[in-house]
């Protein structure tokens, strides 16, 4: 590895000064892609014929990157890691990908993921399991598993992800890198395969906060094809990174971060929360106020259920377009009903089908009030609770997950766990409920494996949130870290 462990600005300077060419970077990135594919199975497609581009003043020009396989990429296989779309080659580009392409960035691979983003393990895609580059017996988490794996492995400085529950921010933590999901609508979702539209976000995985800012600056913008997108032309995330957070106030939630709340905590959980406390102390030392706040346990423990209800409902409708009729291989059968049934039955994995059944049940007329409408109300309560915190605090800082990456073995997509553990494992979903800007940065190690810190702020306050993350990042030594296989 000569160049691909570097950040975007460094690469840009090397390109500008002629010390390296775009062609060399792309060749190196493709070579590394094959190595990481052999080891971790991170990709659906490696674009061996990716061509260099002209190096301009744009920081991203000439530099390779990866794209999660649920982004529509014109002329290039886009499967969503599903058998239903295993041969699907779109004829249009996702808006955000198109912006990067127009900036001269070079896509070198499409990364594997949980099928259509519906999973948090990186084990459910149609091309198999993504292994964690730090420990091949562990998962990357999902659903942006391939993107996290590739960026952590130093294949390129950044890869695109999508985040409906925590699908960028959880894998980033497990792989020891940065994962940023901006405010809902900052980046157009046009061309991102829909999972749960009211929760879906585009975003990016990088090895530094600055790189995340640079990439999202290029991806963002109002898009007439996505009415939930908004004009952010007055925002430059990169230029907002000054590292000055003297007067900022942060908080963390006692019910999630205090080890006493957990019965029989695992050794990893104990260390994980101790590490979190240490990091809070470190931040406090820099003069930033970090308060402990309390949130109703009932509300915290409802988050995961609300997420399941809303995401499964929207998903069952969103993925109804996959019938094999207007596109995709036609299913076998003598009637259209049989054809659709066979296409869907054979194409989707059992996990997804389970979610469709749940979603369908919830949306039934007689169940809507009890589940769907109530879940929407609780979503609102959760969001209002966080908004209330933002009246006092710039951001909420919390540990990601219940420890380092989980083991692949025995880690199927289980939707129910001990309530308190589950609340800690799933709280990043709050960022999707409220559309809040939310970023995970590497926050240390537990048993030599990376764990993450998450910083989530109020809507439209991306610049502030990123600047806080940038400042905290600089207090620690994990910036630009590349995965080192520890086992």
**Is 162 assigned a catalytic role?**
no
Beta bridge partners of 336: none
Residue with smaller CB distance to another protein, 146 or 191: 191
The nearer residue to another protein, 131 or 181, going by C-beta atoms, is: 181
Among 323, 438, 440, 464, binds another protein (CB under 8 A): 323
Catalytic residue status for 143: yes
Q: Which of positions 168-207 make contact with another protein (CB under 8 A)? A: 189-194, 197-198
The answer to the question of residue 163 lying near another protein (CB under 8 A) is: no
CA distance 143 to 328: 23
> Residue from 10, 21, 88, 293 that binds another protein (CB under 8 A)?
88
71 binds another protein (CB under 8 A): yes
Residue 88, CA atoms < 13 Å, CB-side half-sphere: 25
Angstrom distance (rounded) from CA 182 to CA 436: 7
Of 78, 96, 143, 162, catalytic: 143
User: CA-CA-CA-CA torsion for 209, 210, 211, 215, nearest 10 degrees?
Assistant: 100
Of the two residues 130 and 323, which places its CB atom closer to another protein in the complex?
323
Q: How far is CA 82 from CA 44, 69, 146, 200, 412, in A?
A: 10, 10, 14, 18, 17
Residue 346, SS3? Answer: helix
Question: Which residue reads 């971790």 in tokens?
Answer: 40
Q: 346 CB contacts (<8 Å, ≥6 apart)?
A: 83, 331
Cβ-based nearer residue to another protein, 241 or 319: 319
Pick the binder of another protein from 1, 325, 357, 412 (CB under 8 A). 325
Query: Shortest distance, CB of residue 227 to another protein, whole angstroms?
Result: 6
**With contacts defined by CB under 8 A, how many residues of the chain interact with another protein?**
45
369 counts as binding another protein under rule CB under 8 A:
no
Instruction: Name the DSSP class of 202.
Output: E
Query: Residue 220 in 3-state DSSP?
Result: coil
Window 230-269: contact mask with another protein (x via CB under 8 A)? ----------------------------------------
- Closer residue to another protein, CB minimum distance, 320 or 414: 320
**DSSP conformational letter for 223:** B
Stretch that binds another protein, among 14-22, 38-46, 71-79, 470-478 (CB under 8 A): 71-79
Could you tell me which stretch among 58-66, 128-136, 142-150, 321-329 binds another protein (CB under 8 A)? 321-329
Burial tier of 21 (Cβ tally within 10 Å: 0-12, 13-18, 19+): middle
Q: Which residues contact 481 (CB under 8 A, 6 or more apart)?
A: 176, 177, 207, 442, 450
Choose the binding region for another protein from 2-10, 87-95, 287-295, 298-306 (rule: CB under 8 A). 87-95
Q: Identify the active-site residue in 96, 144, 167, 311.
A: 167
329 to 368: interface string for another protein, x by CB under 8 A = -------xx--x-------------------x--xxx--x
- Name the minimum Å distance from CB 255 to another protein: 30
Q: Is 228 in the site for another protein (CB under 8 A)?
A: yes
Please report whether residue 162 would count as binding another protein according to CB under 8 A. no
22 is an active site residue: no
- Spatial distance between the Cα atoms of 69 and 124, rounded to a whole number of angstroms: 13
Residue 91 binds another protein, judged by CB under 8 A: yes
Q: Using CB under 8 A, pick the residue from 127, 313, 429, 464 that binds another protein.
A: 313
Question: Minimal CA–CA distance to 450: which of 67, 173, 92?
Answer: 173
In this structure, what token pair is assigned to residue 53?
């581009």
Percent of the chain that is helix, strand, coil (3-state, to 5):
40, 15, 40
Q: How far apart are CA 199 and CA 471, in angstroms?
A: 28
Smallest gap from residue 237 Cβ to another protein (A): 24
Residue of the chain from 317, 342, 385, 447 that contacts another protein (CB under 8 A): 317
Pick left, alpha or beta for residue 52 (phi over 0 → left; psi -120 to 50 → alpha; otherwise beta).
Answer: beta
Taking the C-alpha atoms of residue 416 and residue 401, their distance in angstroms, rounded to an integer, is: 15
Binding of residue 374 to another protein (CB under 8 A): no
Interface segment toward another protein; rule CB under 8 A; list 20-28, 85-93, 99-107, 385-393: 85-93
Cβ distance 112 to 125 under 8 Å?
A: yes
- The verdict on 283 binding another protein (CB under 8 A) reads no
**58 phi and psi, to 5 degrees?**
-70, 130
286 or 364: whose CB is closer to another protein?
364
The total of other beta-carbon atoms located within 10 Å of residue 261's CB is 17
Using the contact rule CB under 8 A, the part of the chain among 3-11, 29-37, 318-326, 382-390 near another protein is 318-326
Footprint of another protein on this chain (CB under 8 A)?
Answer: 70-72, 78, 80, 85, 88, 90-92, 94, 189-194, 197-198, 224-228, 313-314, 316-317, 319-323, 325-327, 336-337, 340, 360, 363-365, 368, 372
Give the residue numbers annotated as catalytic, written as ranges.
68, 143, 167
């Amino acid at each position: 590895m000569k160049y691909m462990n570097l950040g975007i600005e460094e690469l840009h300077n090397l390109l500008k000064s002629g010390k390296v060419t775009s062609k060399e970077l792309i060749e190196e990135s493709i070579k590394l892609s094959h190595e990481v594919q052999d080891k971790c199975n991170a990709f659906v497609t490696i674009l061996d014929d990716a061509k260099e581009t002209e190096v301009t003043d744009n920081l991203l020009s000439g530099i390779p990157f990866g794209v999660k396989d649920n982004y529509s990429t014109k002329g290039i296989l886009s499967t969503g890691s599903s058998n239903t779309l295993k041969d699907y080659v779109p004829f249009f580009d996702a808006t955000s990908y198109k912006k990067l392409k127009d900036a001269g960035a070079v896509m070198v691979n499409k990364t594997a993921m949980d099928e259509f983003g519906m999973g948090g393990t990186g084990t459910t895609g149609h091309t198999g399991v993504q292994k964690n580059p730090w420990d091949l017996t562990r998962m990357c988490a999902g659903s942006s598993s391939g993107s996290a794996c590739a960026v952590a492995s130093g294949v390129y400085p950044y890869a695109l992800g999508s985040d409906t529950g925590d699908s960028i921010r959880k894998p980033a933590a497990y792989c020891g890198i940065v994962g940023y999901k901006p405010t809902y609508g900052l980046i157009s979702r046009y061309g991102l395969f829909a999972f749960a539209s009211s929760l879906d976000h585009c975003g990016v995985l990088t090895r530094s906060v600055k790189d995340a800012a640079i990439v999202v600056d290029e991806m963002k913008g109002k898009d007439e094809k996505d009415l939930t997108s908004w004009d952010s032309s007055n925002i430059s995330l990169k230029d907002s990174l000054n590292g000055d957070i003297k007067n900022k106030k942060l908080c963390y939630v006692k019910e999630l971060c205090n080890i006493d709340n957990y019965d029989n905590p695992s050794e990893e959980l104990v260390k994980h929360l101790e590490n979190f406390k240490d990091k809070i102390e470190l931040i406090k030392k820099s003069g930033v106020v970090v308060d402990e706040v309390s949130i109703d346990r009932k509300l915290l423990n409802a988050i995961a259920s609300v997420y399941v209800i809303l995401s499964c409902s929207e998903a069952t409708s969103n993925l109804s377009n996959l019938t094999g009729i207007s596109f995709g291989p036609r299913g076998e059968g003598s009637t259209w009903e049989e054809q659709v049934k066979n296409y869907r039955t054979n194409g989707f994995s059992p996990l997804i089908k389970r979610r469709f059944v749940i979603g369908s049940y919830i949306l039934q007329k007689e169940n809507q009030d009890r589940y769907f409408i109530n879940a929407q109300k609780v979503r609102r309560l959760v969001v209002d609770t966080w908004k209330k915190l933002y009246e006092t605090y710039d951001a909420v800082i919390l540990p990601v997950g219940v420890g380092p990456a989980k083991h692949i073995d025995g880690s199927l997509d289980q939707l129910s766990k001990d309530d308190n553990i589950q609340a800690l494992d799933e709280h990043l979903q709050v960022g999707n409920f409220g559309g809040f800007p939310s970023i995970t940065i590497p926050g240390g190690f537990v048993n030599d494996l990376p764990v993450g810190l998450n910083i989530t702020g109020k809507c439209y306050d991306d610049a502030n949130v990123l600047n806080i993350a940038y400042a905290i990042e600089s207090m620690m030594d994990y910036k630009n870290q590349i995965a080192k296989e520890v086992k």
